[in-house]
Structure 1
């Protein structure tokens, strides 16, 4: 029972880590895109 709980907890931790990593990646991409659009607007 305890072993099953610890494995599910580990799976949850891995899942949460993947979600956080995914959100972090989206934020970085948004920053890069916003910087690119700012440069284009500044060059005009």
Structure 2
């Protein structure tokens, strides 16, 4: 993977992967809560 070797955003680092995972988790939780609130009405 030549792209990961000179990654300017450093997203290939373990910290970058953790940030991406946390962001995805937050998006999923917010989406589930939104849909749950819509279902209750």
When normalised by structure 2's length, the TM-score is 0.69
Q: Does 1:38 align with 2:26?
A: no
Higher relative helix content: 1
Structure 2: 5+ residue stretches without partners: 1-11
2:13 match: secondary structure? helix
- Structure 1's consecutive aligned runs of 4 or more residues displaced over 6 angstroms after TM superposition are none
Q: More relative contact order in 1 or in 2 (CA 8 Å, sep 6+)?
A: 2
* Alpha-carbon offset, residue 19 of structure 1: 0.2
> Which of 1 and 2 has greater Rg?
1
Aligned twin of 1:22: 20
